[in-house]
Structure 1
Amino acid sequence: MLWYGTWRVTHKLHSTLNIHFLIAGHTKFSPGCGSGLIKQAYKRTRVSILPDIAKVVENSSPKSRLNIPQLVGLEDGNL
């Protein structure tokens, strides 16, 4: 990536190049915590229909209410 940026500057496609790095230890995406909880709950739950998935999401973080399911449709096509 650094070489490509240097190439673009030397070929006058850009006049400058700014590169930003995250601080060590702060590279996690905060919503990733919620999806990790869903993944853990999904692995230990039997799911066969869409409302089952919604229940997994709802129960994945019961105390903090971090994950709140929002169904936008059902299997039969109704909203």
Structure 2
Amino acid sequence: MLWYDIWHVEHNLHSTLNIHFLIALHTKFAPDCGFGLIKQAYRRTRVSTYIAKVVENSSPESRLNIPQLVRLEDGTVIVKTSD
């Protein structure tokens, strides 16, 4: 990553770059809890196609994880994306 950053500066794509690192032993991020709940639910659930239900059921009491669909099964696009 650092070599890529240096290359960008040398080729005048950026004049400066700021690099930020986490403090040692302080790498936990608040959303990690939500991802952990999804991971646990995924491991104990047989999933065929509806991963959104696994996400929704991963934290039923706290409503911490709310799935946001991008596209429906019928092809309806909810959130436009690009390649």
The interval holding the TM-score normalised by the smaller chain is 0.5 to 0.7
Q: Sequence identity, in percent?
A: 72
Per-residue deviation, residues 12-34 of structure 1 (Å, max 9, x unmatched): xxxxxxx865264x320111110
Gaps of 5+ in 1: 1-18
**How far off is 1:46 after superposition?**
1.1
Change (3 A) 1:30 1:77: same
Q: Give matches, 1:26-45, under 5 Å.
A: 26-45=26-45
Q: Which amino acid aligns with 2:66?
A: I
Q: What is the aligned length? A: 62
Shift of 1:48: 1.2
Confirm or deny that 1:22 pairs with 2:23: yes
Alignment of 1:1-79 (within 5 A): 22=23, 24=25, 26-49=26-49, 52-79=50-77
Unmatched 5+ stretches in structure 2: 1-19, 78-83
After TM superposition, the score normalised by the length of structure 1 is 0.61
Task: Give the TM-score of the pair, scaled to structure 2.
Answer: 0.59
User: Which of 1 and 2 has higher RCO (CA within 8 Å, sep 6+)?
Assistant: 1
Alignment RMSD, CA only? 2.7
Q: Which has the higher helix share?
A: 1
Residue identity in the other structure for 2:41: A
